[in-house]
Amino acid sequence: MAIQWFPGHMNKARNEIKEIMPQMDVIIEVLDARIPYSSENPMVSALREGKPVVKILNKADLADPVMTEQWMQYLEQESGVKAVAFGHDKAAEVYKINELCKKLAPHKVGIDKQLKAMIMGIPNVGKSTLINTLAGRIVAKTGNEPAVTKAQQRIKLDDGIMLYDTPGMLWPKVENENSGYRLAATGAIRDTAIDYEEVASYTAEYLLLAYPRLLQSRYKIDELPEQDWEFIEMAGKKRGCIRGGNQVDTHKMSEILINELRDAVIGRITMETPEMREREEVVVAQVRAQAEAKKAAKEEEKKQRRARARKNRR
């Protein structure tokens, strides 16, 4: 599932971030705890210039707690990175984020000093809600639709921290097909840009392997099928998603599955593991290398055509 979705305000935000990045002391990157790899914007690594990063696994109350712990340990293997889980159930622990920022930039802590922190994250990751919790007041507009924040703003926090908010940004092209499906399933991409049945099929295939008991319990199916499409049909019958000719309305059942995944009605689910990231990164690198080789071959072909044309004109 290749996704190319880069609205004008996101491109503008990227350029603005690049411009003010040198002034920042700490980067706060908000990830979706259900998809810590797929919600990690590669532009952050490209733009951060070695600055320390606090990675917040947001919506942790919707994710598998065992997997969240594994992800935090995995992310902290990278130098200059600290990870913390956050969600509605941990709102009282918001002070931990400020503490981590100060630990990562101790030279900016003290009287008459101000620590500058930039908060970044993909659309609909819960960044604005987190900012309001950090500030202790409503300073950022929130909503369930992606791309609510359209411009930068500065928010003064307690403890001498100035927070620079940025619009939620997807990168120009999601190279990893699996990440595209996961971003769609968790709601980072507008529903008008996705095929519900395709995304539900991908989701069902993963859940049948990783969380079969949760599926059995939620959809009252004693013996789960092996194939994703069989599950959609079976669950659709259980839910009464029937149309003319006694056929299962697979689109309706697909919408139910995706919405219940997003709301954690099925249970606390994480859609990827650190091991999956390692494997998929290898594939992405191969695809990227092939694309570069193809591009280089085209350029060489153009070069040779121009050379032949010049020779013929003589």
Residue type, 295: K
CA distances from 212 to 121, 140, 225, 228 (A): 31, 38, 10, 12
Residue ranges of alpha helices (H) inside 76-122 are: 95-104
Mean pLDDT of 77-89: 91
Q: Is the pLDDT of residue 147 over 90?
A: no
Beta strand residue intervals within 59-180, DSSP E: 81-85, 115-121, 153-157, 161-165
For helices 274-313 and 65-75, angle between their N-to-C axes, nearest 10 degrees: 50
Query: CA-to-CA distance for 47 and 32, rounded, in angstroms?
Result: 20
Query: CA-to-CA distance for 203 and 208, rounded, in angstroms?
Result: 9
Helix, strand or coil, per DSSP, at residue 74: helix
What pLDDT, on a 0 to 100 scale, did the predictor assign at position 153? Answer: 84
What pLDDT, on a 0 to 100 scale, did the predictor assign at position 9? Answer: 55
Chain segment 65-78, per-residue pLDDT in tens: 999 999 999 999 99
Q: Could you give phi then psi for residue 243, rounded to 5 degrees? A: -120, -170
Query: CA-to-CA distance for 124 and 121, rounded, in angstroms?
Result: 8
Of 166 and 187, which is predicted with more confidence? Answer: 187
Q: Is the pLDDT of residue 227 over 90?
A: yes
Q: Please answer whether residues 238 and 221 qualify as being in contact, where contact means their C-beta atoms are separated by less than 8 angstroms.
A: yes
Chain segment 301-312, per-residue pLDDT in tens: 888 888 888 878
User: pLDDT-based confidence at 226, cuts 50/70/90?
Assistant: very high
DSSP state letter for 107: G
Chain segment 238-260, per-residue pLDDT in tens: 999 999 888 999 999 999 999 99
DSSP state letter for 110: S
Element (H, E) at 57: strand 53-58
Q: Taking the CB of residue 295, how many other CB atoms lie within 10 A of it?
A: 10
| Least confident residue range of 168-182, 202-216, 278-292 | 168-182
What pLDDT, on a 0 to 100 scale, did the predictor assign at position 145? Answer: 45
User: pLDDT-based confidence at 172, cuts 50/70/90?
Assistant: low
Q: Is the pLDDT of residue 7 over 80?
A: no
